Amino acid sequence: MRNVPYKVLLPSAFWREAKSKDEIKERIKQYFRTSYPECQIKKVIKENGSYIAICTRGS
């Protein structure tokens, strides 16, 4: 079931605590390196007030 997109809820603290868009991006990358190393982020969306990463599993 590779390349099937799925959603990962991102911590809202990333947006509350970050001082710039670049800092948010870096926090997301670090989060995925440690928590979801097999995933590749395709995009980040806002859905019902929460930020969601749309991902696929890497090979």
Q: pTM score, two decimals?
A: 0.83
* Mean pLDDT score, 29-52: 95
User: Bigger pLDDT: 10 or 4?
Assistant: 10
Dist. CA 56–CA 6, nearest whole Å: 6
- Residue 48's domain spans which residues? 6-57
| pLDDT confidence band for 57 (50 / 70 / 90) | confident
Assigned domain for 1 exists: no
In the chain, the number of structural domains is: 1
Assigned domain for 21 exists: yes
Assigned domain for 14 exists: yes
In this structure, what token pair is assigned to residue 58? 């890497």
Dist. CA 26–CA 5, nearest whole Å: 22
| The pLDDT value given to residue 2 | 63
Assigned domain for 47 exists: yes
Average per-residue pLDDT for the chain: 92
| The pLDDT value given to residue 3 | 76
| The pLDDT value given to residue 53 | 97
Assigned domain for 13 exists: yes
Assigned domain for 33 exists: yes
